[in-house]
Amino acid sequence: MCHVLPGDAERQKKLPWLMSRAAQLGLLFGEAYVTTQQPGGCAIWLKPGATDISTDKLMKAGFAMAPFKLGFQAIDRFKRIVQHFGQIRNSATREPHWYLMMIGVDPVRQRQGLAGHLLQPVLAQADAAKLPCMLETAAERSLSCFRKHGFEILNESLLPDTQLRVWTLSRKPR
């Protein structure tokens, strides 16, 4: 999110709207998990067969107002990230999989196991159905958490025309 909304003040102001739309996307096309204790976190998953983030899905989730809520430059950065992640994911696999579209934990609660707690419901479903899970992250510090939960790095790349390093990870069913 720091790349989409780079300024701290801008991010603090606009992130709640973006997260509410992302949660709606998860509710419509997958699952969304939030903690009951605040500050907390959330995990937004897209279910197998619905892992592409199309314009149609974004509109159904209420993103039509995004240029006005987030700004045109932020939308351009958001679109480039979504396209880049989609291309990498599509080249990595065409098989059905769960896609962790977004996970976030309030900084004061990080490194306390909350991310793992948010991951568990879908990881359990994926294991039961013998389906892999995929995600992308630009947060190198998060790689150890994902590895702890069985994810392996498939790809490391730079977002085109930026210095933003991103990792694509996959988890085989257990």
pLDDT score recorded for residue 7: 64
The amino acid occupying position 78 is F
CATH code for residues 8-171 = 3.40.630.30
At 111 the pLDDT is 84
The length of the chain in residues reads: 174
Q: Look at residue 61 in the predicted model and tell me its pLDDT.
A: 93
pLDDT along the chain (174 residues), means of 10: 62 78 93 86 94 90 88 81 79 88 87 91 98 93 95 89 87 96
Buried b (16+ CB within 10 A) or exposed e, 38-51: eebbbbbbbbbebb
The DSSP result for 20-54, as a single string, is HHHHHHHHHHEEEEE-SSSS-EEEEEE-TT-----
- Work out whether the CA dihedral 147, 90, 96, 64 comes out positive or negative: positive
pLDDT at 2: 55
What is the pLDDT, as a whole number, of residue 49?
92
| pLDDT at 151 (0 to 100) | 98
CA 149, CA 154: separation in Å to the nearest integer? 15
pLDDT tens for each residue of 4-26:
556 667 777 777 888 889 899 99
Q: Report how far residue 87's alpha carbon sits from residue 66's, in angstroms, rounded to the nearest whole number.
A: 23
Structure confidence at residue 42 (pLDDT): 92
Coil, helix or strand at residue 158:
strand
- Where are the domains positioned within the chain? 8-171
Contact between 31 and 121 under an 8 Å Cβ cutoff? The reply is: yes
